[in-house]
Amino acid sequence: MTIARRSLSLAKTYPVIAVVLTLVGLGLGASGTSHGISLGTIGAKNIGNATNSGGASTGIPFLAVPLQALAAMLFATPVVLLFVYDKNNGVLEYLLSLGMSQRDIYRQYLKAALILAGAIGVLDVIVDIVSGIISGTGSVLFQIPLLALILGLSVVSLVTVVMMSFSSLQKQRVGSNQPLGMSVGAFLVLPTYLIPFVVSSNAFLVDLLWAGIILAVSLVMFVASSRMISREKLLP
């Protein structure tokens, strides 16, 4: 929690952009109810049938998935910026001197990133459910923000571990305060913009499968993190 609070005080622009993207994503997700897509019947087959019966326009709600996942990544970006800042200012060297291992340090920053990403993801789910109750639809596209939450947490996990494991990805872009490794997250989210139109009948399952693959890779990277990087690479 301390790392999360410090990161938000370090960079406020990214959270603001994340909130805007979240609102846009919620608007796209809510538009599914106007096309008759009711995900109260959870089965993926029903989702696909609803998408096919509604035509191309019903693919629009699934665009909320990458938007909200990207919002989660942007909301957690200050943690990555803080990691680079702490490394350059000797904070990580101090943590190593206290007896912490690379994985111990990774775990603390990873937890902070997941807390921030999860917070905005849970907010998406709550807002979508409340809007469904208020509108009287009873069942709204609550699976879309839930799917976005899973994808967002997976992307944030992988980006954070990759950033911390490879010092070359910690370098800032020319003319930008954004470390190079953040582009990995944008690249991972990119395919989900095409999924609603390429495989509209199975968009839910394909998005879920893609999120699972990213999560699996991030877990493997985290387990191997202590062997992938030497202690000296955490020094300024």
CB 21 within 8 Å of CB 35: no
CB 47 within 8 Å of CB 61: no
- The residue among 36 and 91 whose pLDDT is bigger is 91
% of the chain beyond a pLDDT of 70: 70
Q: With a cut of 70, say whether residue 45 has pLDDT above it.
A: no
Give the model's pLDDT for residue 112. 92
Residue 167's domain spans which residues? 2-234
Summarize the confidence of residues 104-110 as an average pLDDT: 87
Q: With a cut of 80, say whether residue 116 has pLDDT above it.
A: yes
Domain count along the chain: 1
Taking alpha carbons only, the member of 64, 22, 55, 63 closest to residue 36 is 55
Taking only the tens place, the pLDDT of each residue in 207-229 is: 889 888 988 988 888 887 767 66
CB 50 within 8 Å of CB 38: yes
Average pLDDT, the chain: 74
CB 71 within 8 Å of CB 19: yes
Distance of CA 119 to the CA centre of its chain: 11
Q: How far apart are CA 69 and CA 61, in angstroms?
A: 14
- Residues ≥6 apart with Cβ < 8 Å to 154: 211, 212, 214, 215, 218
What's the pTM? 0.76
Write the DSSP symbol of residue 136: T
Q: With a cut of 70, say whether residue 51 has pLDDT above it.
A: no
Q: With a cut of 60, say whether residue 55 has pLDDT above it.
A: no
Q: With a cut of 50, say whether residue 38 has pLDDT above it.
A: no
CB 169 within 8 Å of CB 221: no
CA-atom Rg of the chain in angstroms:
19
Taking only the tens place, the pLDDT of each residue in 161-174 is: 887 777 666 666 54
